[in-house]
Amino acid sequence: MKVGVISLGCAKNLVDTEVLLGKLKASGVKLVSNPKKADLIIINTCGFIEPAKREAIETILEFADKKKVIVMGCLVQRYKEELQKEIPEVMAYFGTESWDKVVSFLGLKPAEGRRLLTTPKSYAYLKISEGCNRLCSFCAIPLIRGKHRSKPIKELLEEARYLAEEGVKELCIVSQDTAYYGRDLYGRGYLIKLLKELERIEGIRWVRLLYLYPTELEEELIDYIASSEKVLPYFDMPLQHISNRVLKSMRRGHDEACARALIEKIRKKIPHAVLRTTFIVGYPEETEEDFERLKNFIEEEHFHWVGVFTYSPEEGTHAYTLGDPVPQEEKERRKDELLAIQEAITIKKNEQFIGKELELVVDGFDEEFGFVPVGRIYAQAPEVDGMTYIESQRELKAGEFIKVKITQVGGYDLGAVEEIKD
């Protein structure tokens, strides 16, 4: 039987998919990359917000009438009974972390296979924990994934060494609450200890931290990043809003003054640091005045990258009890307005790189533009930020680190020329 696997949602979900792929391969399953050529399709779903749920349902329906389909992941964890009732054509439904159950369902004996990477040689995601202890009013993750559970440092180092042996050069550290790592296992924050060990692994050139909760981003971690040779000065910290009234209702645990002080501290200690954040618009208690305050904040603080989401009411969360008074059209208007403001800021930030010589990791090639090599500088995280198009006189390979000179800016992307030393 030929099996195809489709992964939906975030990078953390992708890690789960790669674990599943490894177990399937070790159990003797024949894997195919093209779902159309598969006899059976396994869909690993996201169920975080409404657009993700809609994408998952559409994907299931696309294949359920034509192929044998198994569905697993976050959407099933939340809505298994409803899915079984509404889409009975699916062979079986499994929740999160159900890899062995899926293999057993296929009539095979689960085997401990290594993760099968789906990312380019240049990078891979390292998920350091599962679940979340936060009680943010809008977020369903604790309902889906449960409490925060750190992965033992020994297991993480074994996984990281395996990734390095596979040729991975950049580790992107992911979790729901990255800076919280270790508190449940070791009684204190253990992220710096983990980073020190990861930096010792031969072959790993860059370590990028993603999902840093603002209140957990302590000065000790900022100082460590400032002095580190491998941990990139890249701070991905979701603020979600800046109005104190909205932040209080969101149960975020920080206010505007805290956010501004944190940003100032990072920039003072690391002037070349890159800051990324995300915001939610259309939250039930967000007024036009709150939105204006958020606009002003973005214009004043000049983040390099900003993601904007429209509020999605999620059953079981505190915010769900507040209703959904802001019309979807108004949510979209606010989102578009913020993104337009941020686009101009990002372009200005990118223009500051013009003329600079920087290290870059090659990801692969952009076939749309004639097989042009593409990569990323330290300011560009995989999949969520822009990329750098490379002009070179030789054939480049994915995972290769090269020195480039930034020559142009095209919106969110950069153009660069490889610097050949005589």
pLDDT at 165: 94
Considering the domain architecture, whether residues 240 and 321 belong to the same structural domain is answered as yes
pLDDT at 318: 93
Dihedral through CA 402, CA 405, CA 408, CA 410, nearest 10? Answer: 20
Domain stops at, among 105, 133, 163: 105
Considering the domain architecture, whether residues 299 and 337 belong to the same structural domain is answered as yes
Dump pLDDT digits (tens) for 301-312. 999 999 999 999
The rounded percent of the chain whose pLDDT value lies above 70 is 99
Dump pLDDT digits (tens) for 274-293. 999 999 999 998 999 999 99
* Cα separation, 416 vs 422, whole angstroms: 19
Considering the domain architecture, whether residues 288 and 143 belong to the same structural domain is answered as yes
The CATH code of the domain that includes 87 is 3.40.50.12160
Considering the domain architecture, whether residues 318 and 370 belong to the same structural domain is answered as no
Considering the domain architecture, whether residues 91 and 133 belong to the same structural domain is answered as no
In a domain, 140, yes or no: yes
Considering the domain architecture, whether residues 274 and 395 belong to the same structural domain is answered as no
**pLDDT level of residue 268 (50, 70, 90 thresholds):** very high
Considering the domain architecture, whether residues 32 and 163 belong to the same structural domain is answered as no
The CATH code of the domain that includes 245 is 3.80.30.20
In a domain, 277, yes or no: yes
Considering the domain architecture, whether residues 276 and 378 belong to the same structural domain is answered as no
Domain stops at, among 310, 333, 349: 349
Expressed as residue numbers, the domain containing 29 is 2-105
In a domain, 42, yes or no: yes
Burial of 147 (0-12, 13-18, 19+ CB in 10 A): exposed
Beta 149-150 vs 234-236: how paired, if at all?
unpaired
Domain stops at, among 349, 383, 409: 349
In a domain, 112, yes or no: no
Considering the domain architecture, whether residues 177 and 278 belong to the same structural domain is answered as yes
In a domain, 332, yes or no: yes
In a domain, 117, yes or no: no
pTM to 2 decimals?
Answer: 0.91
The average pLDDT across 151-160 equals 95
Dihedral through CA 131, CA 132, CA 137, CA 138, nearest 10? Answer: -40
pLDDT at 179: 92
* Cα separation, 51 vs 313, whole angstroms: 11
In a domain, 118, yes or no: no
The average pLDDT across 66-91 equals 88
pLDDT at 409: 92
The CATH code of the domain that includes 397 is 2.40.50.140
List Cβ neighbours of 157 (8 Å cut-off, separation of 6 or more): 197, 198, 201
Query: Contact 275/235 with Cβ under 8 angstroms?
Result: yes
Residue 159: CB atoms within 10 A of its CB come to 20
In a domain, 110, yes or no: no
Q: Total domain count for the chain?
A: 3
Considering the domain architecture, whether residues 367 and 410 belong to the same structural domain is answered as yes
Query: Contact 8/52 with Cβ under 8 angstroms?
Result: yes
